[in-house]
Amino acid sequence: ALTNGVFVDSIQRQMAPFAKDKAATNLRGVGPMTSSWFQMAVLADSPIKTYMDLKGKRLSMGPKGSNTVYMTEVILKTLGIYDSVRKDYLKWDDAANYMIDGKLDAFGIPNPIPGPSVLQAAQSRPIRLLDVPDKVIDKFASISKGYYKTTPDVSVYNGMQGKKISTVTYGVFLTAHDKVSADVVYEVVRHFYNPKNNAFVLNVYKPLREAFENAKSDAFLGQMKSFGLKLHPGAARYWKEQNFNVN
């Protein structure tokens, strides 16, 4: 199964939205998939240069009930501007179209890079992505060890060529139940992450390219360890064969 580090951390420590559920102790890490970077987009010719400039502006918070709404609320409340922003709750592709048409000032989403809706906007008009302030990233890190700071290259977007942004990120991982046979997990991992099979897999689903890039180093193992996700024995066998530190 696929899940992100924040959810794993939350369900293992019985934090919201799993506070009333029994703590999960049977999840095991298998390997890295993609990452989701929080991306707040505005038009490149917009006067909005920082999050503080969103005061009085029209912002899509994302569809109600989505993780986008949750993360955007954390950002705005941490900066003390939550009540100063004009809020809409649009689907991401609708938000991109509204911004292109001048009906919206900004929209955000935690997504891989490129994110479809952000790319949609950038293909029509040059955009700018806002840096997430360190105090906000620290707030996310205090909520869950699944959040961390990165500075991804966002050159893929028109208007952001040659640029990086500072933002909050969480990883997405392949996981398994602890009762799944070690031999089964080993074979799945061995075939899925084998570089000889990458071309075939990418022909089916190109966004998995990042998963294969992440599998080239053992950094993902440190991420799993940071929020307490134990490695499945079958996966540990494979990654140990790649000379990764699985301890």
For residue 53, the domain's CATH number is 3.40.190.10
Per-residue pLDDT, averaged over 193-218, amounts to 92
Domain contains 178: no
Domain contains 78: yes
Q: What is the mean pLDDT of the chain?
A: 95
pLDDT at 16: 73
Task: Indicate the pLDDT class of residue 207, thresholds 50, 70 and 90.
Answer: confident
Same domain, 23 and 41: no
pLDDT at 20: 80
Indicate the number of domains in the chain.
Answer: 2
Q: Which of 134, 169, 204 is the last residue of a domain?
A: 169
| Beta-strand pair 106-111/58-60 | parallel
pLDDT at 37: 98
Same domain, 130 and 212: no
Range of the domain at 128: 36-169
Domain contains 150: yes
- Greatest C-alpha distance within the chain: 57
Same domain, 20 and 114: no
Domain contains 179: no
**In the structure encoding, which two tokens stand for residue 208, read together?**
């998995």
Residue 15 confidence (pLDDT) above 90: no
pTM: 0.90
Same domain, 59 and 22: no
| Percent share of the chain, pLDDT over 70 | 100
Distances from the Cα of 101 to the Cαs of 43, 55, 104, 114, 218, in angstroms? 11, 20, 8, 21, 44
Same domain, 23 and 120: no
Place of tokens 């609320």: 73
| Percent share of the chain, pLDDT over 90 | 90
pLDDT in tens, 16-40: 777 788 878 899 999 999 999 999 9
Per-residue pLDDT, averaged over 206-231, amounts to 93
